[in-house]
């Protein structure tokens, strides 16, 4: 049996008094496409931010590709991770945010080669080669010399996807990547993500409010409510035969 590439083991997260994740157990297999759905405030983004090492769990373990994310082994004991360990495991994970977070003063090419040169230590030539390849994937190879301000929101988001892909992460995270876009620009970004998913091997975790998209793209859908993983399964099961009342009433909003 394949080892899951991502594992959450009884993960809790509190912000002060507020417990936003109440013991999450979740395993994701290599190459699997998993959508996380649920009402606003249910803890979806917190899950993704913990994977991106932007938030630390209050308790529990997260494992990515065999490595603890927030912990490490030292002299046979599991201790808190240091910055060096975090930097190393972070390299396995790519993220695309709701707001594209492109550097405004850099061209599209510069945006795409910055991290591979400085984090992975690639030469400028190697980084550019990778960047072109990924920009071609998202259909924007002709924009290399443009600045973000010259691009539409949809194009900016496609650049952000290419920029994350250039790092060749093992796991890609997409956090509501279309929710800041004008409705007419949503389709092109979802199209790029669908193409990526269809290519197969990349493990993808997506938070989305686009239920049709989640249905089409996902191997599995995970429903989160009030910090609990309430229900999960193949999209046909979750969307057509939701078991819990909580999910039934959530889905009614989209019908």
Q: Is 153 in the site for ligand ADP (CB under 6 A)?
A: no
Q: Is residue 148 a contact residue for ligand ADP (CB under 6 A)? A: no
Query: How many chain residues interact with ligand ADP (CB under 6 A)?
Result: 11
Q: Is 246 in the site for ligand ADP (CB under 6 A)?
A: no
Among 2, 17, 40, 255, binds ligand ADP (CB under 6 A): 40
By CB under 6 A, residue 15 contacts ligand ADP: yes
Binds ligand ADP (CB under 6 A): choice among 33, 44, 156, 158 = 44
Q: Does 58 bind ligand ADP (CB under 6 A)?
A: no
Q: For every residue of the chain, which 3-state class applies, written as one string?
A: CCCCCEEEEEEEEEECCEEEEEEEEEEECCCCEEEEECCCCCCHHHHHHHHCCCCCCCEEEEEECCEECCEEEECCEEEECCHHHHHHHHCCEEEECCCCCCCCCCCHHHHHHHHHHHCCCCCHHHHHHHHHHHHHHCCCHHHCCCCHHHCCHHHHHHHHHHHHHHCCCCEEEEECCCCCCCHHHHHHHHHHHHHHHHCCCCEEEEECCCHHHHHHHCCEEEEEECCEEEEEECHHHHHHCCCCHHHHHHHHCCC
Cβ(58)–Cβ(14) under 8 Å? yes
Among 5, 8, 34, 42, binds ligand ADP (CB under 6 A): 42
Q: How far is the CB of 3 from ligand ADP (least distance, A)?
A: 27
Residue 156 CB, nearest distance to ligand ADP (Å)? 22
CB nearer ligand ADP, residue 98 or residue 110? 98
For residue 42, the minimal CB distance to ligand ADP (Å) is: 4
| Contacting residue, 6, 11, 20, 221, with ligand ADP by CB under 6 A | 20
Residue 53 near ligand ADP by CB under 6 A: no
- Note whether 46 binds ligand ADP by CB under 6 A: yes
Q: Does 45 bind ligand ADP (CB under 6 A)?
A: yes
| Residue 129: count of CB within 10 angstroms of its CB | 15
**Which of 42-50, 60-68, 75-83, 90-98 is the region at the interface with ligand ADP (rule: CB under 6 A)?**
42-50
The contact set with ligand ADP (CB under 6 A) reads 15, 18, 20, 38, 40-46
């Amino acid at each position: 049996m394949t080892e899951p590439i991502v594992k959450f083991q009884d993960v809790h997260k509190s912000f002060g008094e507020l417990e936003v994740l109440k013991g999450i157990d979740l395993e994701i297999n290599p190459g699997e496409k998993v959508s996380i759905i649920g009402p606003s405030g249910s803890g979806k983004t917190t899950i993704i931010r913990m994977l991106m090492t932007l938030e630390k769990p209050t308790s529990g373990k997260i494992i990515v590709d065999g490595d603890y994310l927030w912990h490490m082994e030292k002299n046979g004991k599991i201790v808190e991770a240091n910055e060096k360990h975090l930097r190393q495991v972070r390299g396995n994970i790519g993220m695309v945010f709701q707001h594209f977070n492109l550097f405004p003063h850099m061209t599209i090419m510069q945006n795409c080669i910055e991290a591979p040169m400085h984090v992975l230590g690639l030469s400028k030539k190697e980084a550019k080669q990778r960047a072109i390849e990924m920009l071609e994937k998202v259909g924007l190879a002709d924009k290399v010399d443009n600045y973000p301000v010259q691009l539409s929101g949809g194009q900016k988001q496609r650049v952000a996807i290419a920029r994350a892909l250039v790092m060749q992460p093992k796991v890609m995270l997409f956090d509501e990547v279309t929710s800041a876009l004008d409705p007419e620009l949503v389709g092109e970004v979802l199209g790029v993500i669908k193409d990526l998913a269809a290519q197969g091997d990349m493990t993808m975790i997506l938070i989305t409010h686009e239920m049709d998209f989640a249905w089409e793209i996902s191997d599995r859908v995970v429903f989160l409510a009030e910090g609990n993983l309430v229900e999960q399964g193949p999209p046909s099961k979750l969307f057509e035969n939701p078991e819990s009342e909580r999910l039934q009433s959530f889905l009614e909003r989209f019908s």
